[in-house]
C-alpha cells in the first residue's frame, strides 16, 4: 500500500501490550500518539512516549478532537474490555484510518473485529503461548511462520546430519527441508551450500513446510 513505513501511529490503550508497543515504536524512532482513558496511565507514560493524551476512544467526538482521522495507522491495544475494543475499532473505521491493527482476546472477538473492518487482528496471548510451547518442546531456538505452512527456524543441528555434507545427509531429498545458513561457535554466520559439512554444536537456519521442519528438528529424539 502507499502508507509510509515511518507514518505516525495512533495507539489506543496503554495496558501491558499497548505500553510495550508504544515504547518499542518510540525506540524505532516512530512518532506515536498514545491514548488511554486512565489519567494515571497517561501520566505514567508521558515521559517515555512522544505524545500521550487522556481520552475515551469509544467516543467518536473525542477521537475527532485528538485528530485521529489524520492517522493512517492505528493500533487498538484494548483487549479485555471487548465492548470498548469493538467500539474503538468501529470508530477508527468510520474515521477512515487506512490500517487498523486490533488486539483480540478470543477467536470470536477477532471475528467481530474483522467483520467491522479491522485490517489486522492480533492474538498476542495465543501467539505467545503457541510460541513458548514450540520453543520448549524441541531444539528450536527461534522461528518465524510465514502464511499458513512455511517456516524459518533457527535450531541446533540434529546429530543425525552431522559429519556429512548437506547432500550426503539427504537434507533436501530425505528430510524435505532446506538448510539456509550455518553458524559454528565463534565464527560468523555463512550461507549453506550442498557441500557444507555440519558439525555437532553448529546452529543452523532451516526453511520448509512446518510439519517437515518439526520432524527434522526432532530427529535425535
Ligand atoms: P493488557 O492486557 O495489555 O494490559 P488491557 O486490555 O487490560 O490490556 O488494557 C487496556 C488499556 O486500555 C487500559 O489501560 C485501559 O485503561 C485502556 N482503555 C480501556 N478502555 C478505553 C477507552 N474507551 N479509551 C481509551 N483507553 C481505554
Is residue 35 within 8 Å of residue 9, measured between CB atoms? no
Q: Where would I find the H helices in the chain?
A: 16-27, 39-45, 60-65, 82-94, 107-115, 124-136, 210-217
Question: Of 99, 123, 147, which residue is a domain's last?
Answer: 123
Which residue from 18, 68, 78 has its CB within 8 A of the most atoms of ligand 1, so it is best to mutate? 78
| 13 and 95 co-located in one domain | yes
Gap between the Cα atoms of 44 and 36, Å rounded = 11
Say if ligand 1 is within 6 A of residue 63 CB. Answer: no
Q: Is 17 helix (H, G, I), strand (E, B) or coil?
A: helix
Say if ligand 1 is within 6 A of residue 20 CB. Answer: no
pLDDT for 1: 55
| 45 and 113 co-located in one domain | yes
Is 116 part of a structural domain of the chain? yes
Quickly tell me which residue has 492517522 as its cell. 71
State the CATH number of the domain containing residue 184: 3.30.70.1450
Is residue 79 within 8 Å of residue 103, measured between CB atoms? yes
Q: What is the largest CA-CA distance in the chain?
A: 67
Per-residue pLDDT in tens (0 to 9) along the chain, 221 residues: 578 888 999 999 999 999 999 999 999 999 999 999 999 999 999 988 889 999 999 999 999 999 999 999 999 999 899 999 999 999 999 999 999 999 999 999 999 999 999 999 999 999 899 888 878 877 789 989 887 789 999 999 999 999 999 999 999 999 999 999 999 989 999 999 999 999 999 999 999 999 999 899 888 87
- Phi and psi angles of residue 6, each rounded to the nearest 5 degrees, phi first: -110, 20
| 109 and 196 co-located in one domain | no
Please report the ipTM that was assigned to this predicted complex: 0.95
Please state the domain count of the chain: 2
Amino acid at each position: 500500500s502507499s502508507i509510509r513505513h515511518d507514518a505516525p501511529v495512533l495507539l489506543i490503550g496503554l495496558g501491558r501490550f499497548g505500553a510495550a508497543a508504544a515504547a518499542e515504536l518510540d525506540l524505532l524512532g516512530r512518532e506515536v500518539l498514545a491514548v488511554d482513558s486512565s489519567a494515571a496511565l497517561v501520566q505514567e507514560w508521558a515521559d517515555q512516549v512522544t505524545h500521550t493524551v487522556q481520552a475515551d476512544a469509544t467516543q467518536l467526538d473525542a477521537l475527532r478532537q485528538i485528530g485521529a482521522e489524520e492517522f493512517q495507522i492505528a493500533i487498538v491495544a484494548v483487549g479485555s474490555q471487548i465492548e470498548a475494543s469493538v467500539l474503538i475499532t468501529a470508530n477508527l473505521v468510520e474515521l477512515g484510518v487506512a490500517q487498523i491493527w486490533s488486539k483480540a482476546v478470543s477467536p470470536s472477538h477477532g471475528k467481530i473485529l474483522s467483520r467491522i473492518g479491522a485490517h489486522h487482528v492480533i492474538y498476542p496471548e495465543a501467539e505467545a503461548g503457541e510460541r513458548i510451547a514450540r520453543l520448549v518442546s524441541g531444539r528450536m531456538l527461534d522461528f518465524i511462520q510465514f502464511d499458513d505452512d512455511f517456516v524459518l527456524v533457527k535450531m541446533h543441528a540434529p546429530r543425525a546430519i552431522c559429519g556429512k555434507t548437506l547432500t550426503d545427509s539427504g537434507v533436501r531429498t530425505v528430510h524435505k527441508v532446506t538448510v539456509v545458513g550455518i553458524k559454528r561457535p565463534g565464527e560468523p554466520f555463512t550461507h549453506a551450500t550442498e557441500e557444507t559439512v555440519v558439525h555437532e554444536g553448529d546452529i543452523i537456519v532451516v526453511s520448509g513446510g512446518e510439519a517437515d521442519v518439526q520432524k527434522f528438528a526432532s530427529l535425535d529424539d
